[in-house]
C-alpha cells in the first residue's frame, strides 16, 4: 500500500488520531508530550501513530496535510493542528467538547 493511501486509511479508520513522535506513554519530544497530556486529560480514547517508527509517514504526511510539523491532531478526517493550536484550544475549553462529542458519536456507532 502506498504511503498516502496508508495515511488516508488511518485517518478514515480513527475518528481521533494523533501523529506524534513516540507514544502517549513514552513521547519522544516535548511537543508530542504536551499534546499527549492534553489528549489524556480530555479523557477519551484516541489513536496514535508513532512517526519515528514509520519514516514513510513522517516524510509524506506534511505534504499530504500541508502542515510541516508534528504532532498533528486529526478529528473526523480533518486536521485540527499541531501543538500550539491544540494547547490553545484546550486552554480555552474548546478542545474538550470537540473530543467528547466525537468520541460519543463513535461509541454509539459501534
φ/ψ of residue 79, rounded to 5: -70, 120
- pTM here is 0.95
Please report which helix (H) or strand (E) contains residue 61, including its range: helix 55-65
Judged by phi (left if over 0) then psi (alpha if -120 to 50, else beta), residue 9 lies in alpha
**19 close to 74: Cβ distance less than 8 angstroms:** yes
pLDDT above 60 for 110:
no
pLDDT, average across residues 83-89 = 98
d(CA 58, CA 92): 30
14-54 pLDDT per residue, tens:
999 999 999 999 999 999 999 999 999 999 999 999 999 99
Q: Of 30, 46, 23, which Cα lies nearest the Cα of 82?
A: 30
Amino acid at each position: 500500500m502506498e504511503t498516502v493511501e496508508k495515511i488516508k486509511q488511518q485517518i478514515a479508520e480513527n475518528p481521533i488520531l494523533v501523529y506524534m513522535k513516540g507514544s502517549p506513554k513514552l513521547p519522544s519530544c516535548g511537543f508530542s508530550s504536551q499534546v499527549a497530556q492534553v489528549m489524556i486529560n480530555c479523557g477519551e480514547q484516541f489513536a496514535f501513530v508513532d512517526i519515528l517508527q514509520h519514516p514513510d509517514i513522517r516524510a509524506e504526511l506534511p505534504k499530504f496535510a500541508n502542515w510541516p510539523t508534528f504532532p498533528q491532531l486529526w478529528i473526523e478526517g480533518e486536521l485540527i493542528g499541531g501543538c500550539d493550536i491544540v494547547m490553545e484550544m484546550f486552554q480555552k475549553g474548546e478542545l474538550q467538547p470537540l473530543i467528547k462529542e466525537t468520541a460519543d458519536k463513535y461509541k454509539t456507532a459501534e
